[in-house]
Homo-oligomer: A and B are copies of this chain.
Amino acid sequence: MRPFSLALLSAQSLCEFGTKHGALDYKYIEVGLVPDIDITGSVPPRYVRQEVAAATMTTQQMQMEQMGQFRITVWEEENFQGKRCEFMQECRNIMERGFRKIRSIKVENGSFVGFEYPEFQGQQFILEKGDYPRYEAWSGNSGYRTEHLLSFRPIKCANHSDSKVTLYECDDLQGRKFEICDDYPSLQAMGWCSKDVPSIKVNSGAWVAYQFPGYRGYQYILERDRREGEYRNYNEYSTQAHTPQIQSIRRIQQ
């Protein structure tokens, strides 16, 4: 198969192309270079992009821009085998692409959050750039073996060098609070006196909070761009959060 430019294809049509033309056979869809739009060195590229997009970019340019920023490939079998599909945007239900489930993943650009069920429901899994050959590479809770991964979406506001979050002692962003800008594998070692964090405000960037120390157990993806960054009760952390227990927290890398 001849490599082709994606300039005129949306992410969805790319995937459909792969499926229609026998995704099991080809090794890789070669993506044409996406030109970067940078007006000034003093403004971070992501902000430049937003402003330019609103003012002058065409739909086609926006698609190209998005393609450069987020790219994930998923396979139906472990170790990058079997049916595959490449995405530059969210996928609400991988079963609609003819997959039974996702069993291996490569994130080539950006960060994503994977979900146990379709429509971004169930347990959450952070997926940063790198290779995930089996479910245990992303699943944080080996007691509850989540081999399903049926939907995912990009995390657009992650910013590893400029992230801030405020932890609150009580529900509804009340009580004593603690502002942090760094990763903490043990909140208790940092001085937080409880195993629980009842509410959280994300001031900037995107974070992952974990049930256990050392970034283990249930994962909750917390973003400035969702709910205005306000998580007023533990059941807003995730559809499957059953307790406010959070013992470690870290920034998401873009």
Interface residues of A (CB under 8 A from B): 107, 111, 126-132, 134, 136-143, 145, 183-190, 195, 208, 211-217, 247-248, 250-254
The smallest C-beta distance from A243 to any residue of chain B, in angstroms, reads: 12
- A252 touches which of B127, B185, B216, B252 (Cβ 8 Å): B185
| Cβ B250 vs Cβ A185 within 8 A | yes
| Cβ A134 vs Cβ B143 within 8 A | yes
| Cβ A143 vs Cβ B132 within 8 A | no
- A132 touches which of B139, B141, B212 (Cβ 8 Å): B212
Can you list 29 contacts pairing A with B, beta carbon distance less than 8 Å?
A: A107-B213, A111-B189, A126-B214, A127-B213, A127-B214, A128-B185, A128-B214, A129-B186, A129-B213, A130-B195, A130-B247, A130-B248, A131-B195, A134-B143, A136-B216, A137-B211, A137-B212, A137-B216, A138-B212, A140-B216, A142-B142, A142-B145, A183-B183, A183-B250, A184-B253, A185-B252, A185-B253, A186-B253, A215-B215
| Cβ B214 vs Cβ A215 within 8 A | yes
The smallest C-beta distance from A19 to any residue of chain B, in angstroms, reads: 27
| Cβ B254 vs Cβ A132 within 8 A | no
Q: Which residues of B contact A145 (CB under 8 A)?
A: 142
| Cβ A129 vs Cβ B212 within 8 A | no
From A140, A142, A190, A252, residue with most partner B Cβ within 10 Å: A142
Nearest B-chain residue to A217, judged by Cβ: B137
From A130, A190, A250, residue with most partner B Cβ within 10 Å: A130
The smallest C-beta distance from A181 to any residue of chain B, in angstroms, reads: 11
Nearest B-chain residue to A146, judged by Cβ: B142
The smallest C-beta distance from A195 to any residue of chain B, in angstroms, reads: 6
